[in-house]
Amino acid sequence: MKTIFSGVQPSGNLHIGNYIGALSQWVKLQEESEAIFCIVDLHAITVPQEPKALREKILEIAALYLAVGIDPAKAHIFIQSENSDHVKLAWVLNTITPFGQLERMTQFKEKGEKHGENVGLFDYPVLMAADILLYQTDEVPVGEDQKQHLELARDLAQKFNSRFGQVFKLPNPLISPSGTARIMSLSDPTKKMSKSDNDPLGTINLLDSEEQIREKIKKAVTDSATHISKDHGSEAISNLLTIYAAFKNQSLESSLSELEGKSYSEFKNLLADLVVSKLSSIQQKYNEIRADENSLMLVLNDGRDFAIEKSQETMKKVLDAVGLGRPIPNH
């Protein structure tokens, strides 16, 4: 069985871009693989976070993982900072990471300009490589923006293996189907829908109220046409159609033939009904999970124990290969 690993940072609000591009794919993947889903809190502090809010966000994300359909009987969910092997392996990988390769990372440049630079932000991709390599991961489902980081993880695995002997599996990126890998902002379809968007109208959050969802869809940018046509030319309309198709669980083509000829306002009403109905069922599950914090803690305990046990196998090989510490006696 393949091992898949992915993670989301507990910062900002999870939105329908995260859901369509990442979480909904994870739900499918858990059926056919050993799935490990992490809440990457150590990554989150590479930009300033308010401590109380961060703690709250970690549980919010964990509960949302479950609410969208990740099943703890099939997948493992854990909090990154609860397994110190991530930091340990990141340190070892640091020593074989070329400075220049980190300097070329576009996310570092973007986030550095926005939030100010720090060494953690610079080193972010190495910690991400450690996350992935610790679990001998075969595939990493992520959006397109993470491709560059995945390449680094592969490069570091290869470099380590050729210098110290075979320890790591080479992970492959699993980019979601075309279109869904990049859901755009509703208010500016040239920009990616993003947790850190300053314009609240651009992003539909998984925990938005019905009123907010309807308002955001109503105000979503369209184009100069008035009806849906087969050549859904503009980015704005094609983005809304992609969201519709994803929530309907059908291809873009089937959605198009269903919607062809409808006026934009009719279409927006249908889209709003669809998104409201899907998110309200997610929110209902979310509220149930949050009302039973004990069960959530048990899921996170199990995930942590599984993660530590599995990562220790890799870490032992790493320490042996590099010559760190003393030999660990077999028991």
Active site residues: 111, 192, 195
- Are 134 and 93 spatial neighbours (Cβ–Cβ below 8 Å)? no
Q: Nearest 5 degrees, angle CA 34-CA 39-CA 43?
A: 125
Q: Give the nearer residue to ligand TRP in terms of CB position, either 238 or 311.
A: 311
Cα dist from 268 to 189, 213, 259, 324, whole Å: 16, 11, 11, 60
Where does residue 136 fall: left (phi above 0), alpha (psi -120 to 50 degrees), or beta otherwise? left
Task: Kindly determine how many residues on this chain lie close enough to bind ligand TRP according to the rule CB under 6 A.
Answer: 13
Shorter beta-carbon distance to ligand AMP: residue 9 or 160: 9
Q: Which amino acid is at 189?
A: P
The residue among 138 and 145 lying less far from ligand AMP, judged by its C-beta, is 145
Q: Rounded to the nearest whole angstrom, what is the least distance from the CB of residue 147 to ligand TRP in the complex?
A: 11
Among 4, 8, 29, 67, binds ligand AMP (CB under 6 A): 8
Binding to ligand AMP by CB under 6 A, coded x per residue (else -) over 136-175, reads ------xx-xx-----------------------------
DSSP structural state of residue 39: E
State which H helix or E strand residue 277 sits in: helix 264-290
3-state secondary structure 233-274: CCHHHHHHHHHHHHHHCCCHHHHHHHHCCCEHHHHHHHHHHH
Q: Is 146 in the site for ligand TRP (CB under 6 A)?
A: yes
- Rule CB under 6 A: say whether 182 interacts with ligand AMP: yes
User: Of how many residues is the chain composed?
Assistant: 331
Stretch touching ligand AMP by CB under 6 A, among 79-87, 97-105, 190-198, 261-269? 190-198
Q: Please report, as residue ranges, which positions from 153 to 172 form the binding site for ligand TRP (by CB under 6 A).
A: none
Q: What is the binding site for ligand AMP (CB under 6 A)?
A: 8-9, 17-18, 20-22, 142-143, 145-146, 181-183, 192-193, 195
Q: What is the binding site for ligand TRP (CB under 6 A)?
A: 5-7, 9, 40, 43, 128, 131-132, 140, 142, 146, 149
